[in-house]
Amino acid sequence: MQLVLLGQGRWTVYAICSDETTCPLLDLIASLDSKRAARMLADLREFVPTSQPRDWVRMDFSWKLRGTEIVLEFRWPTRGGPTPRAYWFYDEGAVIVCTHAVLKKGDTKHQDIALAEQAHARYMAAKRAGQLAVVAFEDFDPPNEEEGSDG
């Protein structure tokens, strides 16, 4: 299983890849307007690694989801329109693993929790088998369908 290293500090933050060129979290971020995308990336690469979970909760940035003991979400509320949400779980050694992200209004769907729980199970199996491969964010190079675009 390939992981993208997003940030490191007190916490190490990874994103799970579906394969060597697809990362559901980064794919959603890439689909956002540049301001919102930059904020999500900055939070995941700089704020989360250097802060504490109590800060995330106090700021209503992180939520524990009902119906699961494993999955939590980071939220970036917007005025009108759907809220970007990144689903994640803890691993030992101050590690946070992001599974995927969605744009969503209202409550989190059970399907998103189930997807994150499945990703957690795959991650744990890969970890036990010694099959976790980490690539730095700067080195993760998904195919660009719009070569030459200003984004």
| Domains observed in the chain | 2-136 (3.30.2310.20)
How many of the other CB atoms lie within 10 Å of CB of 14? Answer: 26
Q: What pLDDT was estimated at residue 151?
A: 40
pLDDT tens per residue, range 17-26: 988 889 999 9
Residues in the chain where the model's pLDDT stays below 70: 142-151
Q: Please, what is the Cα angle at 29 between 24 and 35, to 5 degrees?
A: 175
Q: Are strands 2-8 and 12-16 parallel, antiparallel or unpaired?
A: antiparallel
Phi first, then psi: give them for residue 82, nearest 5 degrees.
-75, 155
pTM for the whole structure: 0.90
Q: 10 in helix, strand or coil?
A: coil
pLDDT tens per residue, range 55-73: 998 889 998 898 899 999 9
Q: What pLDDT was estimated at residue 147?
A: 43
Per the DSSP assignment, residues forming a β-bridge with 135 are 4
